[in-house]
């Protein structure tokens, strides 16, 4: 029988997967030379070599197996494979917050797009003062305007081309700023939806004899952005990543 000097104490750190207080527990175990009483340890301070690696791999495999059993029994189980419930290292994902961020990301992307198209109209003079707006309206009248929209373009828009050009330029820039910053998003989205519908009926007419699907295909330039504005009106795209917005 070994003497007291031959007896050693070792500290084992055992990773236990259980819901409760601490996710890592520490135990003092009594062991004799050449024999390991700690059968489920991950690391022992007085040990080493291949045996320690063996027990480490065994402990990790047991934890992974337990996690897969939990997931199989409960498909809605959201626990991490490595960190149990209560661990400070475990990440928490809120589905509602994830959806809000996705919607906010779409809002910002559309806002940046309008900033790009609005800034060159506002800070340049080609579109507003040198015939750029009139060029596009005449182009729409030749091959893009719906029949009911052509008289409006000829009788109202073209006679007031300069005023309309400035309204379009500063309107696009204002929509871009509002969506990017997340300020007055619903108001900007309402004007944006109206603007997209106006452009759709002014420039996306496929022709009288075109099949139905071509009406949808020809409208993709503006209908997709119109749907985005409709989504911004229906949802809360300014819940996060917005001026005055706050992540809950």
User: Tens-of-pLDDT digits for all 248 residues of the chain?
Assistant: 444 444 443 334 343 444 443 334 344 444 444 444 444 444 444 444 566 677 667 777 776 666 556 655 554 444 444 444 444 444 557 888 999 999 999 999 999 999 999 999 999 999 999 999 999 999 999 989 999 999 999 999 999 999 999 999 999 999 999 999 999 999 999 999 999 999 999 999 999 889 999 999 999 999 999 999 999 999 999 999 999 655 44
Sort 69 into a burial class: Cβ within 10 Å, 0-12 / 13-18 / 19+. Answer: exposed
**151: in domain:** yes
CB 228 within 8 A of CB 106: yes
47 and 105 share one domain: no
173 and 118 share one domain: yes
Split into its structural domains, the chain has a count of 2
215 and 142 share one domain: yes
Start-end of H helices in the chain: 50-73, 95-123, 126-129, 132-143, 150-152, 161-181, 185-203, 212-218, 220-234
- What pLDDT is stored for residue 51 in this prediction? 67
120 and 18 share one domain: no
64 and 123 share one domain: no
**190: in domain:** yes
Q: What CA–CA distances, in Å, run from 121 to 19, 61, 137, 167, 179?
A: 60, 63, 15, 10, 18
CB 64 within 8 A of CB 32: no
* Domain end (from 18, 38, 73): 73
Q: Which domain holds residue 40?
A: 8-73
- What pLDDT is stored for residue 92 in this prediction? 58
| Interatomic CA distance for residues 45 and 31, integer angstroms | 12
173 and 213 share one domain: yes
**243: in domain:** no
134 and 204 share one domain: yes
55 and 145 share one domain: no
**67: in domain:** yes
49 and 127 share one domain: no
* Alpha-carbon dihedral sign for residues 179, 185, 189, 191: negative
178 and 63 share one domain: no
Residue 205 CA to its chain's centroid (Å): 34
118 and 30 share one domain: no
| Cross-strand partners of 14 | 25
**120: in domain:** yes
169 and 63 share one domain: no
């Amino acid at each position: 029988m070994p003497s007291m000097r031959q007896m050693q104490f070792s500290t084992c750190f055992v990773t236990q997967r259980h819901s409760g207080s601490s996710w890592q527990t520490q135990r003092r175990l009594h062991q004799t030379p050449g024999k390991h009483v700690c059968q489920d340890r991950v690391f022992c301070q007085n040990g080493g070599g291949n045996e320690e690696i063996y027990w480490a791999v065994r402990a990790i495999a047991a934890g992974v197996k337990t996690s897969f059993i939990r997931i199989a029994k409960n498909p809605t189980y959201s626990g991490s494979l490595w960190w149990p419930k209560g661990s400070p290292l475990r990440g928490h994902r809120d589905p509602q917050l994830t959806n809000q961020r996705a919607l906010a990301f779409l809002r910002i992307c559309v806002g940046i797009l309008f900033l790009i198209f609005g800034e060159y109209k506002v800070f340049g003079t080609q579109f507003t003062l040198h015939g750029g707006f009139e060029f596009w309206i005449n182009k729409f009248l030749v091959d893009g305007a719906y029949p009911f929209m052509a008289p409006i373009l000829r009788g109202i828009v073209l006679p007031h081309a300069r005023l309309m050009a400035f309204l379009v330029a500063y309107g696009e820039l204002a929509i871009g700023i509002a969506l990017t910053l997340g300020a007055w998003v619903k108001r900007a989205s309402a004007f944006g939806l109206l603007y997209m519908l106006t452009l759709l009926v002014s420039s996306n007419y496929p022709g009288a004899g075109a099949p139905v699907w071509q009406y949808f295909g020809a409208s993709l330039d503006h209908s997709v952005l119109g749907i985005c504005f409709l989504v911004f009106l229906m949802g809360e795209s300014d819940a996060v990543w917005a001026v005055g917005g706050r992540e809950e």
